[in-house]
């Protein structure tokens, strides 16, 4: 999902703008009649996370028919070691389509030891993802270079892109027609409750990033009595899922791309691209035009260039690498760094193919999308006029939903007055989940607290190097303490400083922030 901030509305208006829960969401929980076996944990530790354990759990494919076909979810765990045990803490990195197995190790290692020791930190691969079975991969190699120019400047280019996305939707329907009706947010939420039951817990604690915040909010709506603590970081606006959200997000990423251009201008002595951000941006678009005609190394055309720079909208720790590749191409005609940066940040491997298949399956099934391509064309050309950086790339990323082979559900109204205090974190300049999402959910979840990173532009901000944010997270996970303020935000933190240029080509980013963003991935 991709969103942009809108004018703040009252909670009553927001709640009224949503439909009732879909029929599937209001049906009795499958966990009431389906009893999952207790997970058989086995050691699967790594160098970074040596105490990690792995297991699996079976869940019904269709929770309305718990006696029917079963599928398998992969789980991970860092077990508690303290005498005081606060229960399972389920973690999710977002997506849809993100694997959560390694995130459990990261969260347990990044929290203060005395806090992590009180929880079983539980990661899971949602249905269709990663090590869960079956895992979706609708069309392997769908993002292999070089793809058509995303900007449909001619009917021929538009047809080429349309044929691509139609072929993807058709492939998903032919390959997974029996699964697609059950790959959606509410089914994953019901899986989470089966996990809770399998763990023998009456309640869960939950910590989600990005799309994981929507997953957590929907879980809290369906099972409010089973939520003990709820942490939402970089919050999805549930009133915008998903078509309008993606259109709005185009503007936010355009702003963040311009922030990168301004940062490059500040470091002209390193990159020699000039001191005027607008002129630097013009040079970037000139590079894009050149690559559309002659892809760098036969690998990086216009689409791949955009794929490479989109991660910079998620995390500014990538800016030095992007700037180096940009400068080498423009100043020296050297496309080697650009190709290398594409391979690191933009190229899609088998795990990415799987993640994209689940991303599309969930978003296309969750809610209705326009089925008339003329509507997409009109809306995206209008957005492109103001936000050219990612608009058409983003359009084709989601356009399979115009041709998706399953029907759709209705969005879930997450308004909730039955929860203990939830803790929300939001950066004001986040491009992937813009600020308004945090404010909206703060209003919809009665008693919640909102912690704001003022002027922060990264996506996924806790456990990423900001001690002020982590102080609030630690207090909440320790004893449920939340900040209480009088304004829109209950607490405000300053952002970490922007990165500095690398001192040598051998220098690398090994911060906690870069580790987290590697786990969260891109495009959610």
125 is an active site residue: no
* Residue 126, beta-bridge partner list: none
Q: Which of 201, 290, 252, 376 is nearest to 192 (CA)?
A: 201
What gap in Å lies between CA 310 and CA 347, rounded to an integer? 12
Whether 472 sits among the annotated catalytic residues: the reply is no
Angstrom distances, CA of residue 302 to CA of 287, 288, 389, 412, 524: 9, 5, 11, 37, 21
Q: In the chain, how long is the greatest CA-to-CA distance?
A: 67
257 is catalytic: no
Interatomic CA distance for residues 206 and 220, integer angstroms: 10
Q: Residue with structure tokens 């029929």?
A: 23
Calculate ∠ Cα 499-502-507, nearest 5°.
120
Omega of the bond leading into 96 within 30 degrees of 0 (cis):
yes
Selection from 360, 357, 375, 369 nearest residue 407 by Cα? 369
Contact indicator for 342, 308 with CB cutoff of 8 Å: yes
Say how far apart CA 374 and CA 88 lie, in whole Å. 48
- State the Cα–Cα distance between residues 509 and 312, nearest whole angstrom: 14
Q: Which of 251, 267, 442, 459 is catalytic?
A: 459
Please provide residue 200's backbone torsions phi and psi, each rounded to the nearest 5 degrees. Answer: 75, 25
Closest CA to 322 of 333, 336, 308, 301: 308
Q: Of these residues, 76, 99, 210, 357, which one is catalytic?
A: 210
Annotated active-site residue in 430, 472, 490, 517: 430
**Six-digit token pair at 46?**
């790594």
Q: Which residues are catalytic?
A: 210, 430, 459
């Amino acid at each position: 999902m991709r969103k942009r901030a809108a004018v703040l509305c009252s909670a009553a208006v927001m709640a009224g703008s949503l439909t009732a829960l879909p029929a599937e969401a209001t049906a009795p929980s499958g966990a009431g009649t389906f009893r999952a076996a207790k997970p058989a944990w086995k050691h699967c530790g790594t160098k970074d996370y040596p105490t990690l354990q792995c297991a699996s759990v079976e869940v019904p494919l269709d929770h309305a028919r718990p006696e029917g076909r079963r599928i398998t979810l992969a789980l991970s765990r860092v077990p508690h070691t303290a005498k005081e045990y606060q229960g399972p803490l389920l973690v999710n990195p977002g997506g849809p389509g993100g694997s959560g197995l390694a995130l459990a190790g990261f969260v347990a290692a990044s929290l203060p030891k005395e806090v992590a020791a009180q929880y079983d930190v539980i990661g899971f691969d949602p249905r269709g993802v990663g090590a869960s079975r079956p895992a979706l991969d609708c069309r392997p190699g769908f993002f292999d270079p070089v793809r058509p120019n995303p900007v449909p400047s001619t009917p021929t280019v538009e047809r080429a892109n349309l044929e691509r996305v139609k072929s993807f939707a058709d492939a998903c329907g032919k390959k997974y027609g029996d699964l697609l009706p059950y790959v959606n947010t509410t089914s994953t939420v019901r899986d989470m409750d089966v996990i809770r039951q399998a763990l023998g817990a009456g309640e869960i604690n939950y910590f989600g990033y990005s799309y994981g915040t929507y997953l957590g909010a929907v879980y809290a709506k369906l099972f409010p009595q089973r939520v003990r603590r709820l942490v939402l970081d970089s919050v999805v606006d549930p009133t915008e899922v998903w078509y309008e959200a993606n259109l709005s997000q185009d503007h936010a990423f355009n702003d963040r791309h311009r922030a990168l251009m301004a940062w490059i201008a500040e470091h002209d002595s390193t990159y020699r691209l000039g001191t005027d951000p607008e002129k630097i941006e013009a040079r970037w678009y000139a590079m894009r035009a050149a690559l559309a005609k002659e892809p760098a190394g036969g690998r990086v055309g216009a689409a791949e260039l955009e794929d490479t720079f989109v991660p910079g909208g998620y995390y500014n720790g990538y800016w030095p690498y992007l700037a180096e590749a940009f400068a080498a191409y423009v100043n020296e005609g050297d496309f080697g760094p650009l190709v290398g940066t594409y391979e690191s940040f933009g190229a899609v491997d088998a795990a990415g193919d799987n993640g994209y298949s689940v991303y599309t399956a969930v978003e296309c099934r969750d809610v209705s999308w326009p089925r008339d391509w003329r509507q997409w064309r009109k809306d995206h050309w209008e957005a492109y006029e103001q936000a050219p950086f990612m608009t058409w790339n983003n359009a084709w990323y989601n356009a399979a939903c115009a041709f998706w082979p399953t029907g759709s559900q209705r969005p879930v109204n997450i308004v909730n007055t039955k929860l203990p205090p939830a803790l929300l974190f939001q950066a004001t300049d986040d491009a992937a989940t813009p600020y308004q999402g945090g404010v909206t959910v703060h209003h919809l979840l009665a008693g919640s607290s909102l912690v704001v990173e003022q002027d922060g532009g990264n996506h996924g901000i806790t456990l990423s190097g900001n001690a002020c944010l982590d102080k609030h997270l630690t207090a909440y996970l320790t004893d449920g303490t939340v900040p209480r303020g009088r304004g829109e935000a209950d607490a405000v933190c300053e952002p970490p400083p922007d990165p500095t240029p690398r001192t040598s080509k051998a220098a690398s980013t090994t911060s906690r922030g870069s580790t987290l963003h590697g786990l969260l991935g891109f495009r959610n």
